[in-house]
Amino acid sequence: MNYWLVKSEPGAYSWQQFLKDGRTHWDGVRNYQARNNLKAMKEGDLVLFYHSVSEKQVMGMARVVREFYQDPTTDDDRWVVVDIVPEKSFNKPVTLAEVKTDERLENIALVKQARLSVMPLKREEFDVLVELGNR
């Protein structure tokens, strides 16, 4: 199993909307590294959902339920999506400030590659974020 973090501006697509929808395809990715990360996602992988820009916090956990396929928002076959479903809201969202001060997360891509919208997490990083979110 692999572990991931996806980022969305809450004004564009929020965790709350995701919970209402119950399932979504992760679309609009137009960065090759992020696209390659989508292509690497496998059914069953766990995904953390991060509110970027205004809130800067990890909101909860999701699961990949369909591996990559053509992004339906474009005819350009370079771009793909995956389908995810919500698994669990965190008791307390994990803020970027908390991430930056936790030495267990000092090498996390969320800090090292801040502009990347789809990123892998090490199992240990994923576990720390879940631990912090479930306080």
**CATH code, domain with 88:** 3.10.590.10
Domains: count for the chain? 1
Domain range for residue 50? 3-133
Predicted local distance difference test score (pLDDT) of residue 103: 97
pLDDT category at 118 given cuts 50, 70, 90 is very high
For residues 97-125, give the mean pLDDT: 96
Confidence of residue 117 (pLDDT cuts 50, 70, 90): very high
How does DSSP classify residue 22?
A: S
- pLDDT digits 0-9 by tens, 43-95: 999 999 999 999 999 999 999 999 999 999 999 999 999 999 999 999 999 99
Q: What is the pLDDT of residue 27?
A: 93
What is the arithmetic mean of pLDDT over 125-131? 98
Residue with tokens 């496998």: 42
Neighbour order of strands in the sheet with 46-51:
24-25, 80-95, 57-70, 46-51, 3-8, 118-121
Mean of pLDDT over the chain: 97
